[in-house]
């Protein structure tokens, strides 16, 4: 990291911290690990995923991902299902309870961010939106060859 990037990074973390969105996700009453939260949100945005896709997303071994999923299954937040085209593959999906859980956390975060962003005028919101576009493109995952087979 170059020194010229440090103020940008510090400012980014300062804003995220002051919005309190990460705090909402990690509140003690959620009683979920960061890996579990990542799986829930990943499934919310991408629906059914294979165990391999989840392992890759978390950047953990298959046995570690299996343990994360086992704990989410025990809490009735996700369920396993046979892949419709290949019974050897297992799909993981949100249950109704898991979907409600994610939507509750997302709603709380949106309310917090909305209270701040709502104070910006239209031109400021447009400028912020435009400034976030290249960052979003950098964070977009490359095409997943395994997805093409689903």
Closest CA to 69 of 87, 49, 89, 88: 49
pLDDT in tens, 30-78: 688 889 988 998 999 888 999 999 999 889 999 999 999 999 999 999 9
Q: Indicate whether 2 pLDDT > 70.
A: no
Report the pLDDT value the prediction gives residue 150, as an integer from 0 to 100. 42
Does this model's pTM top 0.75? My answer is no
Beta strands in 6-110 (DSSP E): 49-50, 78-82, 90-94
Domains located in the chain, CATH noted? 17-139 (1.10.10.10)
Burial class (CB in 10 A: 0-12, 13-18, 19+), 42: middle
């Amino acid at each position: 990291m170059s020194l010229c990037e440090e103020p940008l990074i510090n400012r980014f973390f300062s804003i995220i911290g002051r919005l309190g969105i990460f705090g909402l996700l990690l509140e003690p009453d959620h009683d979920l690990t960061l890996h579990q939260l990542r799986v829930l949100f990943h499934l919310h945005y991408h629906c059914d995923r294979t165990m391999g896709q989840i392992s890759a997303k978390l950047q953990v071994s298959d046995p570690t991902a299996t343990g994360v999923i086992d704990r989410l299954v025990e809490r009735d937040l996700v369920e396993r299902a046979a892949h419709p085209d290949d019974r050897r593959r297992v799909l993981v999906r949100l249950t109704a309870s898991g979907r409600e859980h994610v939507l509750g956390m997302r709603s709380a975060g949106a309310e917090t961010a909305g209270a701040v962003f709502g104070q910006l005028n239209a031109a400021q919101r447009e400028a912020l939106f435009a400034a976030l576009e290249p960052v979003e493109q950098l964070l977009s995952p490359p095409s997943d060859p395994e997805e093409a087979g689903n």
